[in-house]
Structure 1
Amino acid sequence: MRAAAVAVPYRLLRNVMIAAGVLYCSLLLEAAAGFPLDVHQSFLSELGALDQATSPYARAMDLGAGALLLIAAILGRGAARLHRDLAGLLISAAVFGAGTLFDSFSPMDCAPSVSAACRAAEANGQAGAALVLHEVTSTVAGLGSIAIGIFAVLVLRRLGWGGVWDRVVAVLAAGVAVTQTWLGIETGVEVLTGDDLHAPGILQRVSVLLVCLMLATVLPGLRQAFPR
């Protein structure tokens, strides 16, 4: 198959992914809002809780990031026909985008780290369907981000590891996989045992930062994989 037949708008795709990385970085909103939550005890998703002043902005950022990732998957569909690893990368971006997009439509009713009543309702299983749906969509997004990193490394292995961007993407992908898995295990243990997490805030913020950086650098790092 000729490259011309699967030409990909690489620059547009790259810029869309970078924009998605910026919008997904809710750390920027948290800083702009003056750190309204305890960074040690809270999850960044609590910025989107309906009882928080930051809710419209956090949900808009998730909506924008999710939509851009879905657009990126569509823009790159020509390259997906060339190699399975590229197809896996773009499908993972779509999964991540869908999870993030639906996150914006399923915010928590309240922020547990701020409200004792909210924590009590959550502990007693009275938080409602909104929390369950939010946990599901967040899990989908987390798995999608890990998969992006895995497929990015597979593409790099096929192309070689010669460039600086290649190494940057590989390190960020590994960081995302480790921190997201660690956070997932801690959250799963909490759900199964009913015990509170041990100050998950910093770990989650580090993980989100790594995801944002990975999204912004994955296309520059894999530019040779996309026919133009």
Structure 2
Amino acid sequence: MSPYGMRSAAVLLALGAVAYTAWVLEVVLATGLDPVRTYVSELAAADQPLGGLFRATDLAAGLLVLAGAVTALVVLRPHRPWSAVGWAGLVLFGAGTATDSRLPLSCAPTVDPACAARETAGLVPATHAAHAWSSSLATTGAIVGVVALTVAARRYGRWPALARVGPALVTAELAATVWTLTAVALFEAGNGTLLLGTGQRLQVLLVAGWLAVLALSVAREKLYE
């Protein structure tokens, strides 16, 4: 194992975690979107004044996590199943997030009734459908990575920090994901949002926090297979 390679992976993952929380800038920037009700991705919509900023941070987050996960795979060449699946999940998450940033929504459907109507009628650009697919892939990759690498930390006796904190983060992340998916289904059925924005922001924040713990664990323990 190359200590330099693992330190590089840890730095890339840590930077990716920071970039993935760039949406918190909405606290100090006038985005015009209600964080309780809106999708995080609506911050990066093509018609939003700060859309370019949030698309850039999403791209950076995806590429950094992708590079960190690929570096870990190359350095570790993991043969244990939970480790291999977990790193592969982070590769998918990074690639999906980066792709997401290149397929922005054209407008913000949760706050713009005309946008929502066009989306329902299929009159929005194809990027809306593509964005939904890339977001789903990114979310799937994140869940796989979070679960599998947390199991690996506990089962293989590595990454003590992740082994301690990981299970609580996994439980909270799964709960936030169920909340978000339920809220999305309700919104698409015209039955309100069930605090969609809050649920999704919690979901994203938990992934970023988990990435930070993983990065710290890798840097400290210099994991090897």
Check whether TM > 0.5.
yes
Q: Which structure 2 residue ranges, 5 or more long, are not aligned?
A: none
Distance 1:163 1:226 in 2: 10
Structure 1 CA distance, aligned partners of 2:98 and 2:168? 26
After superposition, give the CA deviation of every residue in 1:12-34 in whole Å (9 maximum; x if it has no partner).
11111010011111332322313
State the 1:186 CA deviation.
3.6
Name the structure 2 match of 1:133. 130
1:42 is aligned to 2:38? yes
Change (3 A) 1:114 1:182: closer
Cα 1:139–1:79 shift into 2, 3 Å? same
- What corresponds to 1:52 in structure 2? 48
Secondary structure of the residue that 1:9 maps to in structure 2?
helix
Structure 1 match to 2:199:
203
CA distance in 2, matches of 1:165, 1:97: 20
Return the letter of the residue paired with 1:227. Y
C-alpha separation in 1, matches of 2:31 and 2:38? 11
Q: 2:176 corresponds to which residue?
A: 179
Identity of aligned residues (%): 29
* Structure-1 separation of matches of 2:23 and 2:116: 23
* CA pair 131-180 structure 1, distance change in 2 beyond 3 A: same
CA root-mean-square deviation: 2.4
Q: Give the aligned partner of residue 85 of structure 1.
A: 82
- Asked if 1:20 corresponds to 2:16, the answer is yes
CA displacement at 1:177 relative to structure 2: 2.1
Correspondence for 1:11:
7
| Paired AA for residue 15 in structure 1 | V
Q: CA deviation at 1:156?
A: 2.1
Task: Say which is worse superposed, 115-124 or 44-53, in terms of deviation.
Answer: 115-124
Greater shift in the superposed pair: 194-203 or 129-138: 194-203
Determine if the alignment matches structure 1 residue 65 to structure 2 residue 61: yes
| Contact 1:166-1:221 at 8 Å conserved across structures | no
1:221 is paired with a residue whose SS is helix
Do the aligned partners of residues 160 and 226 (structure 1) sit closer, same or farther apart at CA in structure 2, a change above 3 Å counting? closer
Match of 2:153 among 145, 153, 156: 156
1:123 equivalenced with 2:153 (yes/no): no
What is the identity, as a one-letter code, of the residue corresponding to 1:112? P
Q: Distance in 2 between matches of 1:166 and 1:157?
A: 5
Q: Any gaps of 5 or more consecutive residues in structure 1? A: none
Seen in structure 2, the aligned counterparts of structure 1 residues 49 and 162 have a Cα distance that, compared at 3 Å, is closer
**Equivalent of 2:212 in 216, 224, 227:** 216
Cα distance between partner residues in 2 of 1:7 and 1:163: 18
CA contact (8 A) 1:79 1:86 kept: no
User: Is the contact between residue 31 and residue 43 of structure 2 (CA under 8 Å) also seen in structure 1?
Assistant: no
Q: Helix, strand or coil: the match of 1:76?
A: helix
Residue identity in the other structure for 2:76: A
TM-score, length-normalised on structure 1? 0.87
Query: Residues 50 and 35 (structure 1 numbering): CA distance in 2 closer, same or farther, change over 3 Å?
Result: closer
